[in-house]
Amino acid sequence: MTDIPGADDATRDALEAQVFRRLVQHLRDRPEVQNIDLMNLASFCRNCLSNWLKDAADERGLPLTKDQSREVVYGMPYEDWKALHQNEATPEQQSAFATGLASRGHGEV
C-alpha cells in the first residue's frame, strides 16, 4: 500500500479505520445492493468484510465470533438481515458467480 503523505502510522491507521466505518455504513444504507452483485462486480461482499474483520481480531487474540463480526458489518444479526433484505439470486447472478468467483475460492454470499 502506498503511504499517505505526511501521515505517521497512527494517523494512517485512524484514517483507514474511518474509511472502513464509512464503507460499512454505506453498505448498511444500501441493503437493496445484493451481496451476489457485489461479488460479481467487485469480488467482495459484506460477508468478506466481516470475515476480514474476524481475521484481524483473530490475529490480535480478540474473541470475535463469525456471528459477531457479521453483526458489526450488517448492523444486525445476519439472519435478520437476510430475512429483511436478501433476495433469491437470479439464474444470471448464479451463473456469473459460478463461472467467476466461485472458481477462485469464494464461498457464501
pLDDT tens digits along 3-31: 888 889 899 999 999 999 999 999 999 99
Q: What would the pLDDT profile of 34-87 be if each residue is shown by its tens digit?
A: 999 999 999 999 999 999 999 999 999 999 999 999 999 999 999 999 999 999
d(C-alpha 18, C-alpha 33), whole Å: 22
What residue ranges do the domains of the chain occupy? Answer: 35-103
CB 50 within 8 A of CB 69: yes
CB 72 within 8 A of CB 24: yes
**pTM higher than the cut 0.85:** no
What Å distances lie between residue 10 and 26, 59, 67, 95, CA to CA? Answer: 24, 19, 29, 43
Angle of helix 9-28 versus helix 46-59 axis, rounded to 10: 150
Give the domain 35-103 fold. Answer: SMc04008-like fold (1.10.3340)
